[in-house]
Amino acid sequence: MSDLPKAYEPKEIAESIYARWLQDQTYRADPSSSKPAFSIVMPPPNITGVLTLGHVLNNTLQDVLSRKARLEGYEVLWLPGTDHAGLATEMVVERSLRKQRGIGRKELGREEFLRLVREWREKHGRIIVEQLKKLGSSADWSRERFTMDADYSRAVQEVFVALYRKGLIYRGKRMVNWCPASLTALSDEEVLPREEQSNLYFVRYAVEDEPGAFLTVATTRPETIPGDTGIAVHPEDERYRKWIGRRAVRPFPHGSIPILADAAVDPAFGSGVLKITPAHDKLDFEIGQRHKLPIVDVLHPDGRMNCPSVPELDGLDRFEARKKAASLLEEKGLLAKIEPYLHTVGVSERANVPIEPRLSEQWFLRYPKAEEALRVVRERRIRFFPEHWEKVYEHWIENIQDWCISRQVWWGHRIPVWWKDGSHLCQVESPGPEWVQDPDTLDTWFSSWLWAFETMDPATRRKFYPTSVLVTGPDIIFLWVARMIIAGLEFRPGRGPSLEENIPFRAVYFTGLIRDRLGRKMSKSLGNSPDPLALIEKYGADGLRFGLLRIAPQGQDIRFDEKQIEEGRNFCNKLWNACRFRARFGPIAASARPWEDRLSPFAVEMLSALSQTGIRLETAFGAYEFSEAAGLLYSFVWNDFCSSFLEAAKVDLSQDRSPTASGTLAAFDYALSWILRLLHPFCPFVTEELWNRFELGPSTLQFAGWFSAAEARKLDERLADRKEAALLARSIYQAAERGRHLRSTYGIPSNQKVPFLLRADAPLANAERTVLAALSNASEIADVDGPPPKAPMVLTAVGELYLPLEGILDLDVERKRLTNEKEKLARNWQAIQDRLHNPEVTARVPAEKLKAWKEQARQLESAMRRLEDQLNELSQ
């Protein structure tokens, strides 16, 4: 055993250990292994990505599961890779192209642009992979995949052909979400809702052949008036029933349009009259189809107006055209009023601009196996954690819409359809030089929905498919999770007939969203998104991992606070220093059997706590309660092992010829061996370093075994006849804690030794009394028969514990200090009460502020009562 340095230096240790793990190919999964299989596929980060706290959380959870499975004896495959991220990558490269050369991709040409993208990917596309390694990710990097790998790309195209030949893929002109910035169609799941403060324009449409009669329409988009081909009202709306079947006059260009009745119109919105613009709104399109209205497209793909019949608008950007249209209406006397209007608009997830509903010819997929996809979740063949996401998933499947799978971008999987003279063929290989391939590419998610099985060769699939669990964010439950389930059921990669053989995973764990301390979503613009690499540099990867998981409860958003990461580092230091103490007493017994030794009550209590921790950990892991598991380990190591047992052990080991010293060392060694293994999934570096420093077993801790609930119960049985000793230890710890609280109540510094007096319920042995004195930092624990004068008391499990203040405190000075403190608190309390009972103040203060004041007043009242109790004690 080599001496431990005074301080734990995480950076140097982590780099050295991780390099050794990679060199030893520790994480290479063996499909021919006889061990049971455990597998995870890494949600492939975009090649444009860099490490965020979201990546840290997601990949740490996957790493915890993978490392725990290795310790349990599984053959583990954690399969990593990256996604080509078609639209996102194209935007990044084109932005760079415009900055460097002043041209876009279309001026450069498709082949040359794709060459630039491939170059960019070689240079930048694996940055996040290297960053994940700094986190300690134990993925099988020898199997790293990329969604544009040649064999993967071919599989994507073969899937397209197979679905086309089954009649599930078709081409049609339909209303889609269109991004005017990226010039491509988007699926519903790629459009984010965003609240926007806008205007509601009330426009007067004259009724034809009825002088002075107008129908007023409320619209947020007056610029689309040139595309109006009808006006609709609800058939049961008495206000407008007489106009149904008549015609109205479109303001510009001047034209006659029908007034229709349709039940889809909401009579409560605006004026209850809807202008129908079939080319630029999904509802309008549906109404237009029912009433056979013409479709007039008044927008270019880039969001500029395309209406030569209204020269004042033609060529303007859509938002400029909105202002101009309002001006034109005002000039014509047709703008009744404008009202502020807060509403939700769809925004392109990547380009961050409002999308346009647009009639466009695209490729669509009718989802197969929707019924089976619903069944496997309802029947719990696939478990969701937290469970409430099952309802969200079911709702989407039950209302599933055809998937627009074509994209008008160049970087991606080209659609395997070939055109000649208006006819087409669907096949992977080109049918000949006279045939031209479809210019569109496939939605990025069309490749990643195959990720769970197309990343594996046949031998790997036989061993590791279906995978054990997927860890991902709930924001892609439709984009990815549901589609992977459908793909597995449709393409049957398990090669068997049953659903269980073909589902892509048996469980899905949905992570929470990380927010700042104020509850705000993290973003660069707010400056509240810390750099994980800087946190690793400052606190170590172990500190970041453990600190983050302690504050990540299942199914809840996470309030990030850097102090928690600091606590993670301090926790590692605490463990390190405990091991430095143990190193003073010689080599650690790797196979210690403490139950065969004479044990102090404090060793028995610590081993009992270890047993209970192991049992509760199995429950926490089984429910995917990672923060609960981290909290259990923190509590045991920090409180039971270090703060309690270790302090008692110092007393025991300092005594000459202590009969329990050997048992104390054996208990320490046994517990440490399991502590390192239990902590390893969370803190892989410090645990591996300590394991090797103390030569506790194999050259790496990673396969050393797991402290299962069965092992924990076995330990508990071995200690069954010593339960009373554990109870005594708990009593001593409780008495020491109350003694420390008594000291702090009277402002006595924790490092100042003071005497205590004990009126014991039963005699204490010298060893227990010595430990109580050490934990209380008492100069002595003397026995008394009755209450001594001028000595406040606390009741403890071992009896009445007194703190004699005479000679330690000047009681008159202390009374004055407490009185002043109480008066100060009373003044603060009264100031809050004055605010709370002032109607002028409470009327303008937010409810949250009022709630905070009330809580502050409650805390002040509690503090004043405590001070009053102390003053009463001093008076007595």
Strands (E), 765-806: 778-783, 793-796, 799-802
Which positions make up the binding site for ATP?
524
| φ, ψ for residue 363, nearest 5 deg | -95, 135
In what helix (H) or strand (E) does residue 359 lie, and over which residues does it extend? strand 356-365
Supply 829's token pair: 């309390």
Q: How many residues does the chain have?
A: 876
Q: Which residues have CB under 8 Å from 249's CB, separation 6+?
A: 205, 206, 207, 208, 255, 256, 257
Q: Which residues contact 521 (CB under 8 A, 6 or more apart)?
A: 513, 515
Give the type of residue at 736: A
Give the CA count within 13 Å in the CB-facing half-sphere of 549: 33
Report the alpha-carbon angle 89-128-461, nearest 5: 90
User: Encoding tokens for residue 469?
Assistant: 């669990």
Main-chain dihedrals φ then ψ at residue 126, nearest 5 degrees: -115, 15
What token pair was written down for 460?
A: 């790997």
* Residue that the structure tokens 């003044």 belong to: 827
SS3 90: helix
Annotated binding residues, written as ranges, equal 524
Cβ-count burial 51-85 (b if 16+ within 10 Å, e if not): bbbbbbbbbbbbbbbbbbbbbeebbbbbbbbbbbb
Cβ distance 4 to 694 under 8 Å? no
From CA 88, how far away is CA 95, in angstroms rounded? 11
Nearest to residue 456, comparing CAs of 160, 34, 162, 155?
155
CB burial class (10 A; 0-12, 13-18, 19+) of residue 703? middle
Let me know: does 248 contact 208? Beta carbons within 8 Å.
Answer: yes
Planar angle of CA 150, 154, 156, nearest 5 degrees: 120
- Please give the helix or strand (H or E) that residue 258 lies within, else none: strand 255-261
Cis peptide before 253 (omega within 30 of 0): yes
